[in-house]
Amino acid sequence: MNRIPLLSAALITRNEEDNLRELLPRLGWTGEVVVVDSGSTDGTVEVARSHGCRVAIHEFDTFARQRNRALGLARGDWVFSLDADERPTARLVVEMRRAIGNPRYAAWRVPIRSEILGRRVRRGGTQDDRPVRLFRRRAGRWRGDVHETLAVAGRIGSLAGWLEHRTLPTQGALLEKIDRYTRLEAQGRVRAGQPPRRGDAVVLPIREVFRRLIYKFGALDGPVGWQFALWSGYSQWVLARRHWQLWHEQPGAIRQPSAAPHPRLADINHVC
């Protein structure tokens, strides 16, 4: 009889061959690793299987559904959800192994420290990145089409150890991510019946740059902080333009205005 693992690591992937080669050897302390791949054209699936991962292939629809598919594959009492470009620190591993023995909590928040364009970004909003990543399998469910969050039934604690997030290593990767996320976000807004507002393409980029540089102290990160703020503003401009274009391309019968406010485009260094 196969032993049921206490903890499962769960990933969703697409063309993450190089990242998996580095990450998977660091997950040997978990009971199992499950991977849901959305049709990689590189060696992602082969690398995952060569490391003993349980792999499923499913066409991408939304981030939440992909993560819930990985959750459905997991057999552990606890699930550690992470991305291929993230690395758990030794301190975090020690804390997580202790945390899953604490009966008072259903889930734990994990701080994320990001590198963008090869440089550490400490402010600009990244200091607030503390998502729930460790949780009891039966207590959590992912929600949200693009910027997914975990809905948890139970008490949530916070860990001090962190994930190193090596995201957006090049300008090309950054532009590709902006393109993908803004497209998905705009499509989601149109499906939800949220009309674009006049002036979004001007007001939102300016507000986003100000928020990151001043309100979130991104200017203190130096040149990389300015770059991150400006690219974040650019992503808001692309989103506003795409939202406007898609809205006006749709038949009027399927774009009923909604009273719900526009969800803010999450950090471009967020899960992907």
Domain range list for the chain: 7-167, 171-254
Residue 2: what pLDDT?
54
Residues 89 and 112 sit within 8 Å (Cβ to Cβ): no
State the pTM of this model.
0.86
Q: Output the pLDDT for position 144.
A: 85
Q: What are the structure tokens assigned to 185, written together?
A: 């976000």
| Topology of the domain covering 7-167 | Spore Coat Polysaccharide Biosynthesis Protein SpsA; Chain A (3.90.550)
E runs forming strands in 190-269: none
Q: SS3 for 123? A: coil
Task: Choose among 77, 101, 71: nearest CA to 4.
Answer: 77
For residue range 224-272, list pLDDT tens digits in order: 999 999 999 999 999 999 999 999 997 653 444 444 444 444 444 443 3
- Cα→Cα distances 230→19, 195, 212, 264, Å: 27, 25, 9, 16
Residues 6+ apart with CB under 8 A from 126: 112, 113, 114, 267, 269
Whole-number pLDDT of residue 252: 56
Model pLDDT, residue 5: 67
The predicted model gives 211-219 an average pLDDT of 96
In the chain, % of residues over pLDDT 90: 84
Question: How far is it, in rounded angstroms, from Cα 167 to Cα 268?
Answer: 9
